């Protein structure tokens, strides 16, 4: 089989990824990974708050003060809940059902002075 110079140059140009391209992808993937590492704890905290609120609403405490106290007790047990307390809950009754709502913001420092602001809100089910 006879190879011409033009044919082998064409094959060489189509091979692999350049070093610049590889480094660019590494930077992008590294940054996305860094943002995930910084934000996942806030998502876990939100899930813990949501679970606590659902558990408290299902137990149907008799008063607003009892709901707030139950949340504060749950906060002492669940170490990841730091952003809100019982006083921050919005408690209402809808169709003979206790509904507990909450909302808060979390700032995540990426690289000074750049922060990521995440707004969480939820309600009991």
For 79-106, how does the pLDDT look when each residue is reduced to its tens digit (9 = 90+)? Answer: 889 999 999 999 999 888 899 999 999 9
Percentage of the chain beyond pLDDT 90 is 70
The full DSSP string for 8-64 is HHHHHHTSS--HHHHHHHHHHHHHHHHHHHHHHHHHHHHHHHHHHHHHHHHH--SSH
Q: How far apart are CA 95 and CA 51, in angstroms?
A: 22
Q: Identify the band that residue 17 occupies on the pLDDT scale cut at 50, 70 and 90.
A: confident
- Residue ranges of the domains in the chain? 39-123
33-46 confidence digits (pLDDT tens): 999 999 999 999 99
């Amino acid at each position: 089989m006879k190879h011409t110079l033009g044919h082998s140059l064409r094959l060489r140009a189509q091979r692999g990824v350049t070093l610049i391209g590889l480094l660019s992808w590494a930077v992008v993937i590294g940054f996305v990974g860094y943002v995930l590492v910084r934000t996942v704890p806030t998502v876990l905290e939100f899930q813990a708050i949501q679970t606590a609120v659902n558990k408290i609403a299902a137990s149907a405490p008799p008063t607003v003060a009892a709901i707030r106290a139950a949340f504060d007790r749950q906060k002492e047990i669940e170490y990841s809940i730091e952003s809100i307390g019982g006083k921050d809950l919005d408690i209402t009754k809808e169709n003979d059902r206790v509904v507990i709502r909450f909302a808060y913001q979390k700032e995540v420092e990426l690289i000074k002075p750049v922060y990521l602001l995440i707004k969480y809100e939820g309600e009991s089910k």
